Chain A
């Protein structure tokens, strides 16, 4: 069974540009999560999508946005890039339910560098 995949592996942008990161969840998973792993700051929750809807959002500015497609894949868009947006962006997927916790499976990440 294929795991969570992310593309591209690396992305280099300049300040002010837009970045688009993509994620494909494990087959059968409807929930997709985005996390930012900036150097020295640990993992910060960004966004959670399920069935095409945004379920929760972390403490990030509106220029961080995303969407989930009917096939449950997801895009993360970062507008007006700033130097501090340089980080590893991790995507995770899980089943969705209203009882208990479903394990989140993580992808390998996209390394975004803003120059």
Chain B
């Protein structure tokens, strides 16, 4: 079955430090890949996505590149801020055959990585 493995946390950084959160996956099909973020006291939000090999998703200074050869989708940010403190989840959606086509309904998540950024 599908699975997502994230680097274990928590991760603690100083402001303006470089961030990398590793994510690798196994999938039966050709999945789409995502990073979700959960800020303290808030719901889960989509941060960025990539739907095919070599695609780079980016948002709010975060980037991740879909690497099919290494089955990876590592999250990076060049300079983190205190406001980036949150829990980050890597996820994938495998195509599901449906009547009339293909759908990408079910998300498979990694364990989540807690990021704390200090001033």
* Chain A interface residues (CB < 8 Å from chain B): 3-4, 31, 33, 35, 40-45, 48, 50, 55-56, 58, 90, 92, 94, 96-104, 106-109
Contact = CB atoms under 8 A, between A and B. Distances in A.
Contacts of B104: 100-102
Interface of B: 32, 42-46, 49, 51, 89, 91, 93, 96, 98, 100-112
Given A98-B98, A98-B100, A42 B44 contact: no
Q: Chain B interface mostly helix, strand, loop or mixed?
A: strand
Contacts of A44: 109
A99 B102 contact: yes
Contacts of B44: 43, 90, 92, 106
B103 A43 contact: no
Nearest to B44: A106
